[in-house]
């Protein structure tokens, strides 16, 4: 599989870190880029902390499945950490392990890359600040890795790169994944006759960037910064994973709430951005990079 490790040289200047230092190993690093939605983001953080209870998960079994990429159970200090990347906003959030403050907006993908460099989790979870947890989603995602033990030699499936829960989007209702049409426009997709657990994305289909092993994210080079400030960086990462031989898919047994578009609208109002031009430009970049939308 191809390797293009994340580089420290890509980190922006004038980074201020506040809050507790997230220096101890954990299972999941939750990375949330934010543009100033203080109340919304605090609700997001509170919902994660109140719905993340992994007391019943077999940690030793999970670490055995993950192999060399995992610390031993004695070194594991916590289940999850939350890292907020504030872009142009200096604000402290309760329940956050690390608060990274930037002096300007560097875009969604680069902000996620920066959070990944500061993360100590075996898994990375990139989410928007307009998401809310209504159930223990991380438990179910981690449990799925345990469930797969024994299905592969050595109990390890190294080809599973990215999984996402279903999204209950306020604009589109329940969505399982997305697909691109021949014009490169994204559309939500939902069906009732799919498998009971994981749906693996087919050609032209992609899932939101939600839950991925840190070693896999690093190997493919993270998010491509050319898609800043937003749009199509998630499609590009899906395609990069598929090209490198990894599977992407949706775990159908869990979901999260997504207010959908709230972050982009905030950015548009704050900066008077032409969202249509940004979307068109990044769509053209995606076509130039991949040549086809059916990877």
Domains and CATH numbers, the chain: 8-290 (3.90.550.10)
Q: Long-range CB contacts (< 8 A, 24+ apart) of 269-275?
A: 270/35, 270/36, 271/105, 273/229
Q: pLDDT class for 34, splitting at 50, 70, 90?
A: confident
Q: pLDDT class for 22, splitting at 50, 70, 90?
A: very low
Q: Quote the pLDDT of residue 238.
A: 93
pLDDT > 50? residue 2: no
Please tell me what DSSP assigns to residue 154: G
pTM, full prediction: 0.85
Averaged confidence pLDDT in the chain: 79
Q: Average the pLDDT over 59-75 and give the result.
A: 67
Is 133 within 8 Å of 51 (Cβ atoms)? yes
Q: Quote the pLDDT of residue 13.
A: 45
Q: Residue 208, CB half-sphere, CA atoms under 13 Å: how many?
A: 23
pLDDT > 60? residue 284: yes
pLDDT > 80? residue 46: yes
Q: Which residues contact 74 (CB under 8 A, 6 or more apart)?
A: none
Tokens 């004695």 -> residue: 74
* Integer Rg of the chain from CA: 18
């Amino acid at each position: 599989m191809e390797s293009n490790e994340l580089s420290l040289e890509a980190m922006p200047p004038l980074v201020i870190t506040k809050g507790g230092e997230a220096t101890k190993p954990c299972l999941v690093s939750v990375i949330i880029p934010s543009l100033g939605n203080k109340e919304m983001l605090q609700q997001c953080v509170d919902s994660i902390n109140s719905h993340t209870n992994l007391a019943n998960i077999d940690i030793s079994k999970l670490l055995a499945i993950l192999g060399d990429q995992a610390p031993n159970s004695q070194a594991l200090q916590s289940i999850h950490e939350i890292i907020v990347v504030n872009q142009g906003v200096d604000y402290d959030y309760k329940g956050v392990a690390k608060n990274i403050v930037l002096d300007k907006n560097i875009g969604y993908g680069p902000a996620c890359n920066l959070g990944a460099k500061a993360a100590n989790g075996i898994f990375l979870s990139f989410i928007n600040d307009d998401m809310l947890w209504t159930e223990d989603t991380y438990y179910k995602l981690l449990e799925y890795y345990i469930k797969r033990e024994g299905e592969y030699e050595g109990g390890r499936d190294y080809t599973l790169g990215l999984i996402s829960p279903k999204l209950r989007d306020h604009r589109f209702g329940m969505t399982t994944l997305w697909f691109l049409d021949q014009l490169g426009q994204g559309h939500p997709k939902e069906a009732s006759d799919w498998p009971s657990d994981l749906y693996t994305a087919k050609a032209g289909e992609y899932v939101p960037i939600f839950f991925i092993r840190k070693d896999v994210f690093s190997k493919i080079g993270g998010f491509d910064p050319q898609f800043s400030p937003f749009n199509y960086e998630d499609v590009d990462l899906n395609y990069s994973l598929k090209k490198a031989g990894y599977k992407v898919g949706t775990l159908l047994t869990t979901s999260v709430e997504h207010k959908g578009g709230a972050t982009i609208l905030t950015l548009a109002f704050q900066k008077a951005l032409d969202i249509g031009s940004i979307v068109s430009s990044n769509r053209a970049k995606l076509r130039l990079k991949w040549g086809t939308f059916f990877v």
